[in-house]
Amino acid sequence: METVWFCLVAIMIAAYVVLDGFDLGAGAIHFLVAKTDAERHLVVRSIGPVWDGNEVWLLAAGGTLYFAFPALYASGFSGFYLPLMIVLWLLILRGVSIEFREKVNSPVWIKFWDVVFAAASLLLAVFYGAALGNVVRGVPLNDKGYFFEALWTNFRLGTETGILDWYTILVGLAALSTLSLHGALWLALKTDGPVHDRSQTLARAAWWILLVFTILVTVVTFLVQPQVPSSLSAHPAGFVFPLLAVAGLAAMGWFMLRKDDLKGFLASCLYIVGMLTSVVFGLYPLVLPASTNPAYSLTVHNAKAGEYGLRVGLVWWIVGMALASAYFTYVYRHFAGKVKLEDGASGY
């Protein structure tokens, strides 16, 4: 039962990264693809009706993690106290900037929120990557299953690790390039005119950067967390996940050359899912490896909640997710198609 929940939480986190990922990516490249207020209005409009729903995946994934693996939730959230709080502040700033940008027609007001939007989105992408890097690298868990990490120590891997070290920063930059590309493909899909053209150009350049990061991060991760390659070689069926990522990356390049925006974006979704599932599969059954003593590591078995709760949760989870998928399909179909400037009049 705990393995089922491990997969479900992983699916929800992947859904969050795929969906909110393009919001963050669009934000990170906000000033690169949109040069005028009107163009930047278009970027914000393209995510305006959906960012809030996308962010709900984070809350839903967090809640699910909470009841399925309470010990992991408690240990991880308190140990990553500082970066999580910074992420919360950035999420507040990102959300507020999208909602408030259009409320006052003044160049000073609009420019202010544009900068906040871009900076918060960019930093969120880096922090999410660094968080993933921390989980993969392992944290200094004690015998009670708790830890606390400073934001940084000496940027080296060792026992006194901080949230930021060379490895987690590398993963953070890889996440930034992944999501920037993802966001560029989203904007290419959702916009016309100069924003569309610049997004396409940017995506093509970002693809090469992502290729370099993918190879680099994969190699380094195998060295930093030997559990990942050993899991993969023990269960060769798991190679399907890295293959998904490679297929996604290749398809992205192919469809970008053919200027097929929709398929390029979907390929990017596939790449993200492939990368995340590879990591998750490589770590299983660990959910939070201990860098101190392997016996202190949190696994799906020692972090799970009571059996009854997990069983009853599965029933309502399936019902709830079926409903949620129905709403999402409806909303994305409702707001399908390119965002037009004139649409701006109907909403606000």
Partner 1 sequence: MPDALIVHRLHFAFTVTFHYLFPQLTMGLALLIVILKSLALRTGEEHYNRAARFWMKIFGINFALGVVTGIPMEFQFGTNWAQFSKAAGGVIGQTLAMEGIFSFFLESSFLGMFLFGEKRLGPKGHWFAAFMVFVGSWLSGYLIVATDAWMQRPVAYTLGPNGEIMLTSFWGLLLNHWALWQYAHNMSGAVITGSFVLSALGAFYLLVGKHQRYGQTFVRVGVITGVVATLFQLFPSGDGQGRLLARHQPVTLAAMEGLFYTQKGAPIALIGQPDVENQRLDNPLLIPRTLSFLTYRRWMSEVKGLDAFPPSDWPDNIPLVYYSYHVMVGLGTIFIVIMVVCAWKLWKGTLYASRGMLWVLMLSLPFPYIANTAGWVTAEVGRQPWVIYGLMRTGAGVSSQVSSGNAWFTLLGFMGMYTVLGILFLFLVYRVVEEGPEPPPVFVPQKAT
Footprint of partner 1 on residues 281-310 (CB under 8 A)? 305-309
From 7, 31, 32, 100, residue interacting with partner 1 (rule: CB under 8 A): 100
Cα separation, 188 vs 34, in Å, equals 12
Which two structure tokens, joined as six digits, stand for 132?
Answer: 């993933």
Please tell me what DSSP assigns to residue 102: T
Residue 73, interface with partner 1 (CB under 8 A)?
Answer: yes
- Smallest separation (angstroms) from partner 1 to the CB of 328: 7
60 versus 247: smaller Cβ distance to partner 1: 60
Q: What is the DSSP string of 235-290?
A: -GGGGHHHHHHHHHHHHHHHHHHTT-HHHHHHHHHHHHHHHHHHHHHHHTTEEE-B
Peptide bond into 49 cis (omega under 30): no
From 21, 25, 27, 48, residue interacting with partner 1 (rule: CB under 8 A): 48
61 versus 228: smaller Cβ distance to partner 1: 61
- Smallest separation (angstroms) from partner 1 to the CB of 175: 20
Tell me the residue type at 197.
D
Burial class (CB in 10 A: 0-12, 13-18, 19+), 345: exposed
Cα separation, 343 vs 214, in Å, equals 38
177 versus 199: smaller Cβ distance to partner 1: 199
Q: What is the DSSP string of 155-199?
A: SS-SSS--SB-HHHHHHHHHHHHHHHHHHHHHHHHH--HHHHHHH
- Smallest separation (angstroms) from partner 1 to the CB of 66: 4
Residue 64, interface with partner 1 (CB under 8 A)?
Answer: yes
Residues 75-94, mask of contacts with partner 1 (x by CB under 8 A)? xxxxxxxx-xx--xx-xx--
49 versus 253: smaller Cβ distance to partner 1: 49
Backbone angles phi, psi at 210, to 5 degrees: -65, -40
From 104, 115, 219, 250, residue interacting with partner 1 (rule: CB under 8 A): 104
- Smallest separation (angstroms) from partner 1 to the CB of 171: 21
Cα separation, 145 vs 74, in Å, equals 9
295 versus 345: smaller Cβ distance to partner 1: 345
Question: Measured between alpha carbons, how far apart are the two ends of the chain, in Å?
Answer: 47
> What is the footprint of partner 1 within residues 17-36 (CB under 8 A)?
35-36
Tell me the residue type at 339.
V
Neighbours of 204 (CB within 10 A): 16
Provide the 3-class DSSP secondary structure of residue 340: coil
32 versus 84: smaller Cβ distance to partner 1: 84
Size of the site for partner 1 (CB under 8 A): 77
- Smallest separation (angstroms) from partner 1 to the CB of 160: 15
Residue 345, interface with partner 1 (CB under 8 A)?
Answer: yes
Residues 208-247, mask of contacts with partner 1 (x by CB under 8 A)? ----------------------------------------
Residue 115, interface with partner 1 (CB under 8 A)?
Answer: no
> What is the footprint of partner 1 within residues 135-174 (CB under 8 A)?
145-148
Contact stretch for partner 1 (CB under 8 A) within 23-31, 103-111, 117-125, 253-261: 103-111
From 11, 32, 99, 204, residue interacting with partner 1 (rule: CB under 8 A): 99
> What is the footprint of partner 1 within residues 318-337 (CB under 8 A)?
320-321, 323-324, 327-328, 330-331, 334-335
Is the CB of residue 227 less than 8 Å from the CB of residue 286? Answer: yes
- Smallest separation (angstroms) from partner 1 to the CB of 46: 12
Residue 180, interface with partner 1 (CB under 8 A)?
Answer: no
Mention every residue, 6+ apart, whose C-beta is less than 8 A from residue 248. Answer: 267, 268, 269, 270, 271, 272, 273, 274
